A and B are shown apart, each in its own frame.
Chain A
Amino acid sequence: MDCGTRLILMAVEPLLSVRNLKTYFQQDEGTVKAVDGVNFEMSAGATLGIVGESGCGKSVTARSILRIVDRPGRIVDGEIWFRRPAANGGAGRPAVDLAKLEPNGAQMRSIRGAEIALIFQEPMSSFSPVHSVGNQIIEAIRLHQEIGRQEARDKAIEMLRRVGVSSPDQRIDQLAHQLSGGLRQRAMIAMALSCSPTLLIADEPTTALDVTTQTQILELMRQLQQEDGMAIMLITHDLGVVAEMATDVAVMYLGRVVEQAPVDAIFHAPKHPYTRALLRSIPRMRARSGERLTPIAGSVPHPYDRPAGCPFHPRCPDFMPGTCDRQTPDSRTVGDRHTVSCFLYE
C-alpha cells in the first residue's frame, strides 16, 4: 500500500505505545534496573528522539521492544503495544503486545526485521566480517518475503541505490571492511529498510561518523521517511541531532522517561529540572567568551545504588526534601502531548 493510504488508515491510534516497561538484569552483585517504568508513545510517520546520558537505558529500551535483550536481562513488567500494518492491503490488524510474545517465536521474528527494524551505532562491527554486505541484505529480504534469489538480489541492489551507494552492483559483493564509514551506514540502512518496516529504531546512528557524513546520513533518513512514511525512533545523546530530526522528544534518566513533548516544547519550554539542566549545559555560540559552562551537579549514580524516590533528586536544583526522596513521581500532562514526571507539577 502506498504511504498516503497508510497514513490515513493509521491516523489517530499510536503506532507504538510503551506502558510501564521494566527490564531488569539479575546479576550476582544485585539487580540492575536498566529500564524502570518507561512510558511513551509514537505516532505513525513521526520521529521520536530519545535522549539521555550513557547508561540511562535508551538502548535497552530499544532492544526490549525488539525482544533481543541479552541474558540475564528480562522484561519483568509492562506492555509494548505495536500496531501491525495490514497484511496484503487489507484493513489494519489489531495491535499486539510485544512484551507478551515469545522472544524467538515465529510471530515476534516475523515482526523483527520486517515491521520493526534496528540500525546500530557501529556499522563496522555490526556487519559480519565474513559475509558480503549483499549477502546479509539478501538474507533479510528472503527471510520475510517469498521471492527468489535473483529477484532478491535485484531488490538489494535497488535498495543500495536508493540509499545513495554508488555502483551498487559491485558494492553488493564487497565485505564490510572494504566500505567507508558512511557507505557502511548506508548499507546498514538499506538492510534495515529492505522490508519496508513501519518503525525504524536508530540507536546512535551517527555517533561514530564524522560531521559531514553525519549530515548526509540524517538527510538520507529524513528523505526515506518522507518517501515511505515510516516512523523513526532516534536514540541519541546528541541534542543537536534531535533538534534537526525529531518531531517529538522523550528524555530519559536512569531508566525512566522524565519528560516527553513535541520538539519545540522541549527546547523552548522544558519543564523537568533534568531537561532544563541538560539544555543549560550545552555550550552556546552566542555566549560571552570566558563564560563558564554549567554542568549538571553531581554524577550519575552507580547502577546498583539507585536513589530512593525520584531518581534525579540527588542532583536536582529544585529538590523538595520529604517528597522527592520518598516517592517516585507519576507522569502528568502539562501541555499539548507534553508529559513530565516531577513533583513540581503534581
Chain B
Amino acid sequence: MAGPDLALDPASAPLQEPGAATPARDQRVFVASQWQLTWWRFRKHRMAVLSGMVVMGFYLVVLGADFLAYADPNASEAQRSLMPPQTIHWFDGWRFRPHVYPVKGARDPQSFRRVYQADPDQKIPVRFFAEGFEYRLFGLIPTSRHLIGVDGGRQASQTIFVLGTDVQGRDVWSRLVYGTRISLTIGLVGVTMSLVLGVVLGGLSGFYGGIADTVIQRTIEILRSIPTIPLWMGLAAALPRHWTILQVYFAITIIISLLGWTELARVIRGRFLALREEDFVVSARLVGCSQMRTIFVHMVPSFMSHIIAATTLALPAMIISETALSFLGLGLRPPAISWGVLLQQAQNVQTVAISPWLMIPAVPVIIVVMAFNFLGDGLRDAADPYGR
C-alpha cells in the first residue's frame, strides 16, 4: 500500500501529475529532515530495533546494578564455594509464593569437594524489594532495597544464589550484574578515544589528501597487519602492578583504542573522499566558507549517521578485547569486576565440567555483541536515506 515505504524509493513511486491529490503521508517524506528519514528507515528493521532495546536494557542494568544485585559481590565465604544455581520455585501448591530450598553443604570425603543438598521440606520465601546490603541509589540516596532477596538478607550467609557461586563463594548473579558496569563502560570510553583518533586522522587523510593521506594510509595498513592480541598482552603485562583499578582501567582502554581506531578512520576517510567532490562542498568554499566551517557545518552532518553506525559496530570489538584480556589475567584484575574477570574462573575444562555455571558470564557477552552488531547494521543501512 502506498505510504512512506514506497515514497522513500523514488524509482518505484507512482508517477504523479502536479496537482494530483497526493496522500498526506506521502507528502511528509518530501519535507522530512535527514534524521527523520534515517529514523523511519531504521524502524523498518525490526531486528535492529529489538537490538536497540536490548542494548538500552543493558545500560539500564549498568545504572541500576546495585538494585538488581542482591548479594554483596565481594562477600566471599568458603562455606558456600561453588554452589550450583538454586531454582526459584514460583508456586507453593497453587499459590503464587516464590521460594527456594535451603541448601546445606558438606565436604565429600572422597573428592574433597563441597557437595550441596537441597532440603525440600523447608521453604525460604523470596521477597521482592527485599532488604539487602546497603548502597547508594544513583550514588546519592542511601538504601538497602534490592529487587529480590530473602529475609534476613542483610547477613551474607542467607542470600539466595540464582546462578550459583564461584570458587570463593561469591554470588555469580550479583557479580554478573556489577560486571556489566565495567564491561559496557570500558567499551564506551575506548570507542570515544578511537572515534577522536579516527575522525582527526581519517579527516586529515580524506580531506587534505596528498602526503598526509599517504602517510596515514600506510600507517593504517601497517597497524592492520599486526596481530593485535600479542601486542595488547605485552602492553597490558607491562602495566605496573601497583596501579589502582581505575588507572589500569584507563590504561587498558588506551591500549585497546590505540589499535582500534583504524577501522573508524577508514570509514571517515572514505566519506570525506566521497564528499569532497560534491558540488555542495565546492559551492560552500566558493561562497567563502573557511575550511573549518566547510568541514563541520557542511560535510560532517552528511555522514553523521555513518559515524554513528561505525561507532556502534566498533563497540563489540572493544568489549570482546577487554573480556579477552581480563580472561587471560592481563587486563582488569580482582577486586575489579567485569565479565572477563568472571570468566577467568572458567579457564579450563576440568573446572567447567564440575561447575558449568561458571561459564554463564559468556552469555551476556554474546548477547551484547550480537545486539550491537544488529543495531550497527540497522543504523548503517538506515544511514543512507537516499540510497537503495
CA distance A299 to B2 in the complex (A): 16
> Using Cβ atoms and an 8 Å threshold, which residues of chain A touch B17?
298-299
B16 touches A299 (CB 8 A): yes
A299 touches B20 (CB 8 A): yes
Confirm or deny: A268 has a beta carbon within 8 angstroms of a beta carbon on chain B. no
> Using Cβ atoms and an 8 Å threshold, which residues of chain B touch A29?
1
Confirm or deny: A300 has a beta carbon within 8 angstroms of a beta carbon on chain B. yes
Confirm or deny: A288 has a beta carbon within 8 angstroms of a beta carbon on chain B. no
CA distance A29 to B15 in the complex (A): 18
CA distance A112 to B161 in the complex (A): 72
Chain A interface residue bracket vs B: under 10
Nearest chain A CB to B131's CB is how many angstroms away? 55
Confirm or deny: A286 has a beta carbon within 8 angstroms of a beta carbon on chain B. no
> Using Cβ atoms and an 8 Å threshold, which residues of chain A touch B1?
29
Interface string of B293-319 (1 = CB under 8 A from A): 000000000000000000000000000
Number of A-B contacts (CB under 8 A): 12
> Using Cβ atoms and an 8 Å threshold, which residues of chain A touch B15?
299-300
Interface string of A279-318 (1 = CB under 8 A from B): 0000000000000000000111110000000000000000
CA distance A300 to B16 in the complex (A): 9
Interface string of B11-33 (1 = CB under 8 A from A): 00011110010000000000000
User: Which residue of B has the minimal Cβ distance to A55?
Assistant: B15
CA distance A299 to B17 in the complex (A): 7
CA distance A300 to B17 in the complex (A): 10
B20 touches A302 (CB 8 A): no
> Using Cβ atoms and an 8 Å threshold, which residues of chain A touch B16?
299
CA distance A299 to B20 in the complex (A): 9
> Using Cβ atoms and an 8 Å threshold, which residues of chain A touch B14?
299-302
Nearest chain A CB to B8's CB is how many angstroms away? 14
Residue with the highest number of chain B CB atoms closer than 10 Å, among A29, A300, A301, A302: A302
Interface string of B117-145 (1 = CB under 8 A from A): 00000000000000000000000000000
Nearest chain A CB to B11's CB is how many angstroms away? 11
User: Which residue of B has the minimal Cβ distance to A300?
Assistant: B15
User: Which residue of B has the minimal Cβ distance to A29?
Assistant: B1
Quick one: which of A36-90 are within 8 Å of B by CB?
none
Residue with the highest number of chain A CB atoms closer than 10 Å, among B1, B14, B20: B14
> Using Cβ atoms and an 8 Å threshold, which residues of chain B touch A301?
14
User: Which residue of A has the minimal Cβ distance to B13?
Assistant: A302
CA distance A29 to B12 in the complex (A): 13
Interface string of A89-118 (1 = CB under 8 A from B): 000000000000000000000000000000
User: Which residue of A has the minimal Cβ distance to B12?
Assistant: A303
User: Which residue of B has the minimal Cβ distance to A302?
Assistant: B14
User: Which residue of A has the minimal Cβ distance to B17?
Assistant: A299
CA distance A29 to B14 in the complex (A): 14
CA distance A302 to B20 in the complex (A): 13
CA distance A94 to B345 in the complex (A): 79
CA distance A335 to B2 in the complex (A): 43
> Using Cβ atoms and an 8 Å threshold, which residues of chain B touch A299?
14-17, 20
Interface string of A212-248 (1 = CB under 8 A from B): 0000000000000000000000000000000000000
Nearest chain A CB to B25's CB is how many angstroms away? 15
Nearest chain A CB to B104's CB is how many angstroms away? 60
User: Which residue of B has the minimal Cβ distance to A297?
Assistant: B17
User: Which residue of B has the minimal Cβ distance to A295?
Assistant: B17
Residue with the highest number of chain A CB atoms closer than 10 Å, among B1, B15, B16, B20: B15
Nearest chain B CB to A292's CB is how many angstroms away? 16
CA distance A100 to B1 in the complex (A): 34
Nearest chain B CB to A278's CB is how many angstroms away? 16
Residue with the highest number of chain B CB atoms closer than 10 Å, among A298, A299, A301: A299
CA distance A298 to B17 in the complex (A): 7
CA distance A123 to B14 in the complex (A): 28
User: Which residue of B has the minimal Cβ distance to A53?
Assistant: B15
Nearest chain B CB to A84's CB is how many angstroms away? 38
User: Which residue of A has the minimal Cβ distance to B5?
Assistant: A29
Nearest chain A CB to B289's CB is how many angstroms away? 36
Nearest chain B CB to A304's CB is how many angstroms away? 8
Residue in A298, A300, A302 whose CB lies within 8 Å of B2: A302
User: Which residue of A has the minimal Cβ distance to B2?
Assistant: A302
User: Which residue of A has the minimal Cβ distance to B16?
Assistant: A299
CA distance A130 to B143 in the complex (A): 70
CA distance A298 to B16 in the complex (A): 9
Nearest chain B CB to A16's CB is how many angstroms away? 31
CA distance A302 to B16 in the complex (A): 10
CA distance A298 to B14 in the complex (A): 12
CA distance A300 to B20 in the complex (A): 12
CA distance A300 to B2 in the complex (A): 15
CA distance A29 to B20 in the complex (A): 23
The contact sample of 12 A-B pairs, CB cut-off 8 A, is: A29-B1, A298-B17, A299-B14, A299-B15, A299-B16, A299-B17, A299-B20, A300-B14, A300-B15, A301-B14, A302-B2, A302-B14
B residues adjacent to A (C-beta < 8 A): 1-2, 14-17, 20
Q: Which 3 A-B pairs have the closest CB atoms?
A: A302-B14, A299-B17, A299-B15
If A299-B20, A302-B14 are given as contacts, then 4 extra A-B residue pairs at C-beta distance below 8 Å, sorted by A number, are A299-B14, A299-B17, A300-B15, A301-B14
